[in-house]
Amino acid sequence: MRYWLMKSEPDDVSIDDLAKMPKQLVAWYGVRNYQARNFMRDQMSVGEGVLFYHSGCAIPGIAGIARVASVAYPDATQFNSRSKYFDPKATQETPRWFNVDVQLVKKINLIPLSELHTHPQLERMRILQRGNRLSITPVDPAEWQFIVTQLA
């Protein structure tokens, strides 16, 4: 089993938005980085754990626990010419971008990025590494265990 940290800007989809969605399920659309896409397309499996992370906001941090709820499938926004995620090079026959569905497990009190930095158990966590801007990153099982048992 793998674990993931997935960033979402709360102005787009927040943990509260996810909690209000039917079946508390959202398609993780709009990823336009090849490495993040490859994580979803090639490595994620249904049932794997997700740290739902708020980014691009006043206090970034982990806002909830979720799970991967589907296998990867083509991101529909790449085909919509009105979408900011439109990709003119993508076709139905050869899609370039994929997403998975993510389902809420539980909302937690926000664990700010500044707090994550204070725990030596998390010092190697990718979100804490200088220059890391990926919207999806793997989480080590020991890091996952520490966060969900000690911080969440």
Per residue in 53-104, pLDDT tens?
999 999 999 999 999 999 999 999 999 999 999 999 999 999 999 999 999 9
Per-residue pLDDT, 133: 86
The model carries a pTM of 0.96
Q: What is the mean pLDDT of the chain?
A: 97
Region of 59 please: left (phi>0), alpha (psi -120 to 50) or beta. beta
Decide: helix, strand or coil at residue 35.
helix
Per-residue pLDDT, 28: 97
Per-residue pLDDT, 82: 97
To the question of domain 3-72+100-142 being in CATH 3.30.499.10, the answer is no
Per-residue pLDDT, 132: 85
Q: Which residue has the higher pLDDT, 132 or 122?
A: 122
* Nearest by Cα to 19 from 103, 122, 110: 103
Per-residue pLDDT, 127: 95
